[in-house]
Amino acid sequence: MPIQKAAFKALRKAHKRHQRNSRTKRRIQENIKEMLQTLETNNKTDEKLLKKTISLIDKAARKNILKKNTAARKKSRLMKRLNTKHT
C-alpha cells in the first residue's frame, strides 16, 4: 500500500480507470462475439449491432482505451468476416 497521500489517491484513480477500461473492452468483445454468432446462424447480420460495435471500437480508440491500430484491425477483421459471409 502507498504511504503518501498523493500516491494513495493515484492508486485509487488507477483502479477506477482500470475498471472502466476493462468494462469497455469486455463490452466490445461481447458485441463482436454476438455479431459473429448472428453471422454463423443467419448469414445476415443486424445492421444496428454492426454500427454499435464499430461505434464502441471508435469511442474506445478515441479515449485511448484501445490503440488506434488495434481499433482499425478489429474493425477490418469484422468487416472482412461480414463480407465473406455475404459473398
Could you tell me the pTM of the whole model? Answer: 0.83
The domain locations on the chain are: 55-87
Tens-digit pLDDT profile for residues 37-49:
888 887 676 788 8
Cell 461480414 -> residue? 82
* DSSP state for residue 4 in the 8-state scheme: S
Q: How far is CA 47 from CA 52, 68, 79, 83, in A?
A: 9, 23, 12, 13
Is the pLDDT at 80 greater than 70? The verdict is yes
Of the chain, the percentage scoring pLDDT greater than 70 comes to: 94
